[in-house]
Amino acid sequence: MAKIVCFGEIMLRLSPPNYQRFVQCDSFDALYGGGEANVSVSLANFGLDAAFVTKVPSHEIGQAAVNELRRYGVDTSMIVRGGERLGIYYCEKGASQRPSKVIYDRKYASIAAADPSEFDWEKIFAGCAWFHFTGITPALSDNCAMACLDAVKAAKKLGVKVSCDLNFRKNLWSTEKAGKVMGELMKYVDLCIANEEDADKVFGIKAPNTDVSGGKLSHEGYKFVAAELSKRFGCEKVAITLRSSKSANDNNWAGMLYDGKDYYFSKDYDVHIVDRVGGGDSFGGGLIYSILTGMSSADALEFAVAASCLKHAVEGDFNHVSVAEVKALAGGDGSGRVQR
C-alpha cells in the first residue's frame, strides 16, 4: 500500500514518575511525542508505510527523537536537520479530581523556525496516498502555516487525500487567527477530525444542547457540527470524538463519523485511564488505517474508537497496540482477561 505522510513537531516529553506533582519530583521520565508523530507510529504499528516529516536540531537530542520514530518502523528519511532546539513539554498526570497539567517549552524549536522552502512536497509525496496534519502545526509559526498550505496544495495537485485534526491550542494562537488560518487550510481537507470544543473555538460551530464540563452530550448536536463543517469546507468525511469526563482517571469515550450521507455513532467505552495524552491522535490513526484498508463507515469508526480506547491504557504518547487487539475490542472482547 502507498505511504502516508504526517507533518508536524515531535517533542521531548518530561513527566514526574508515579503521579507525582511537578513541585515534588526530583526526576523526570523522558519520552517523545507530538500529534502527527503519534499518528505516524500508530499507522506503522498497524503495518502501513508511514513517514514523518519535521525539522529537528542536528545534535544528539534531535537524533534521539528520530531514533524513537525509527524504533517503530516510521520512515524518517525526509526529516530536515538544523535549527536551535527540540521542543519540550512537561506532563503532570492527574488523578481522581486533580486534572493533568501540561507546560510547553517549545519556543525557538527547529520546526517553528523552519523555512517552508526546506520541504519539497512534490518529492515528499512521491508514492503517497494520504497526508495528515493537525491544527497544532500551523499554530507554531507563520512559517509553519505557510508550509502546511504548501503541503495541502501539493497534495491536491497530486491526488493525495488530506486529513486534519483541528486540535485547537489556546496557548499557541488566538481563536481569531486560528479561524482565519485553518479556514484556508480546510479547503483542501478530505477528512476533518474534531471535538466539540475545537469546532466551536476555531469556527464558531457549537453543538446545541451540549455541556462538555457537565457531561451532557447531544447526538443531534454533533450531527449539526459535522454537517456544518462538511458544508462549509467541502470535507468528504467529518469525525468527532465524544469524551465525557467523570474524573482524571475515568472517562466515557465514543465517536461519530459523518460520511456525507449518513451519521454513525460508535459504542461507548467506560475508560479507566493510564495516560490520556495521544488519545485523539490514536483515534485519527485508527480512522486513517480503517479508511485506507476499505472498511465500511460503521466499521471504520468502531476500529478508530477501539484503538483510542486501548491507547488510554498505554503509557506515553504512542499507541502500542496491534490491529488484532483493536479488532478484538471492537468486536466486543473488552473483558481485560489475561491472554494466555
Each residue's pLDDT, cut to its tens digit, for the chain (340 residues) gives 679 999 999 999 999 999 999 999 999 999 999 999 999 999 999 999 999 999 999 999 999 999 999 999 999 999 999 999 999 999 999 999 999 999 999 999 999 999 999 999 999 999 999 999 999 999 999 999 999 999 999 999 999 999 999 999 988 899 999 999 999 999 999 999 998 789 999 999 988 766 555 555 678 889 999 999 999 999 999 999 998 888 989 999 999 999 999 999 999 999 999 998 999 999 999 999 999 999 999 999 999 999 999 999 999 999 999 999 999 999 987 767 656 6
- Its pTM stands at 0.94
Residue 266, SS3 per DSSP: coil
Q: Which residues contact 46 (CB under 8 A, 6 or more apart)?
A: 285, 286, 289, 322, 323
Instruction: Report residue 104 CA to chain centroid gap.
Output: 17
Which domains does the chain show, CATH number per domain? 3-330 (3.40.1190.20)
DSSP code, position 185:
H
What CA–CA distance (Å, rounded) separates 207 from 312?
25
Residue 275 grid cell: 495516560
Write down the pLDDT at residue 217.
60
Residue 317 grid cell: 504518547
Q: Tell me how many helices (H) and strands (E) the chain has.
A: 12, 15
Q: Report pLDDT digits (tens) over 129-145.
A: 999 999 999 999 999 99
Residue type, 26: D
For the stretch 242-273, what's the b/e string if a residue is b when 16 or more beta carbons lie within 10 angstroms of its beta carbon? Answer: bbbbeebbebebbbbbbbeeebbbbbebebeb
CA-CA-CA-CA dihedral for 300, 305, 311, 313, to nearest 10? -140
What CA–CA distance (Å, rounded) separates 86 from 88?
7
Backbone dihedral region of 278: left (phi > 0), alpha (psi from -120 to 50 degrees) or beta? Answer: left
Residue the block writes with cell 500500500: 1
Residue 303 grid cell: 476500529
| Angle subtended at Cα 83 by Cα 170 and Cα 136, rounded to the nearest 5 degrees | 20
DSSP code, position 96:
T
Q: Report pLDDT digits (tens) over 262-291.
A: 999 999 999 999 998 999 999 999 999 999
Angle of the 196-203 helix axis to the 175-185 helix axis, nearest 10 = 100
Instruction: Report residue 187 CA to chain centroid gap.
Output: 19
Instruction: Report residue 283 CA to chain centroid gap.
Output: 7
DSSP secondary structure string, 277-336?
TTHHHHHHHHHHHHHHTT--HHHHHHHHHHHHHHHTTSSSSS----HHHHHHHHTT--S-
